[in-house]
Structure 1
Amino acid sequence: MSVSCRYAAQSCARQLRTTAARTPLRTSSAVALQRRYNSTEASPKISAIVDQISQLTLLETADLVASLKSRLNIPDLPVGGFAAAAAPAAAPAAVEEAEDAAPAAAEKTLFSVKLMAFDAGAKPKVIKEVKNLLGLSLVDSKKFVESAPKLMKESVPKDEAEKIVAAMKELGATVVME
């Protein structure tokens, strides 16, 4: 069971508990539902399904999961755990695709902005600007500026990166877009 399905099941169970706690039902079906919910044993139908699934091979289980996802319209979302471990395995294919696409998309769209140096007289202004840009405290901004050269922002769109470079150069800092 994927994490999103498990989360949905837990949310539904939580909602049923709170609804049942607020409006106590006295019908026979409600009593049976409460008994079933509080029961630790699964219904015979569920037990049979669990037994059948536990006898499947790994490939058959993967096919079962894929068919359930398609029938129930559950999107494929990588969420930690096994999905994060599978990503490095797919990396070589992605590198080959990126190499093929590199000549077509020669212009870079995302840049890194790096603070290289600053004028000693402009240090307070540079610290204030770094504080505003990065959302750091004044002390952290001072430490950041004093430890130049240091990467300010990563994966910034070109226009935003150019604005940062222009503002910092105006204050007397040397900033580079990479």
Structure 2
Amino acid sequence: MQTPVRAIRLLSRSLCSTATTTATRSQKLERIADELLNLNKLERHDYSILFRFKLGLNKYGPAISGLDSSGSASAGGGSAATDAKTAEKTAFDIKLEKFDAAAKIKIIKEVRTFTDLGLKEAKELVEKAPIVLKKGITKEEANPIVEKLKELGATVVLE
């Protein structure tokens, strides 16, 4: 544990030696680094999952951990786990539950507009319903897509 702590402190000190505009940034980074160093093991684990989620690195499921948060969580660590779970709800997944067969072509075209898929890939994706069409987007981005798909005859859920 000492090596990452030392690396963070060295990094924050090297950032502090730049101009005054970066001085406020480095103070902010210094504060963040200090807060991260003060987290307990369970809070660090929850933070790492949340950070990966925010960066979009959660494409392959949750991180594997040796911790069992339900059995070994302390009183302080349990509240951190619930805080992380509520913070994660800023990103949503659009899930296509089912669709009207008559509107299949329109739905495929709409799926192509908000994904970077070709016609064949979009068709295969739609035919696999129920399936998640898009992961980790904000509610503001998801609502127009959901509304458009519902207008076309699809049953769509935000998860």
Scaled by the length of structure 2, the TM-score of the pair is 0.54
Partner of residue 114 from structure 2, selected from 85, 109, 133: 133
Q: SS state of the match for residue 132, structure 2? A: strand
Q: 1:73 to 1:148 in 2, by over 3 A?
A: same
**Aligned equivalents of 2:5, 2:117: Cα separation in 1:** 49
What displacement does 1:127 show?
0.6
Q: SS state of the match for residue 117, structure 2? A: coil
Larger radius of gyration: 1
**Aligned equivalents of 1:100, 1:89: Cα separation in 2:** 10
Scaled by the length of structure 1, the TM-score of the pair is 0.48
Matched with 1:71 is 13
User: Is 1:166 aligned to 2:147, yes or no?
Assistant: yes
CA-atom RMSD in angstroms: 3.6
Matched pairs, number: 108
**Aligned equivalents of 1:107, 1:89: Cα separation in 2:** 14
Partner of residue 91 from structure 1, selected from 38, 45, 64: 45
The code of the aligned residue for 2:135 comes to E
CA contact 2:46–2:81 (8 Å) conserved in 1: no
**Aligned equivalents of 2:14, 2:123: Cα separation in 1:** 53
Q: 1:90 to 1:119 in 2, by over 3 A?
A: same
1:130-156 C-alpha deviation (Å, 9 max, x unpaired): 111111000000000000100011222
Which stretches of structure 1, 4 residues or more, deviate above 2 A after TM superposition? 61-71, 87-90, 92-96, 105-110
Identical counterparts, % of pairs: 43
Q: 1:66 to 1:162 in 2, by over 3 A?
A: closer
Partner of residue 123 from structure 1, selected from 104, 107, 126: 104
What displacement does 1:124 show?
0.5
What displacement does 1:107 show?
10
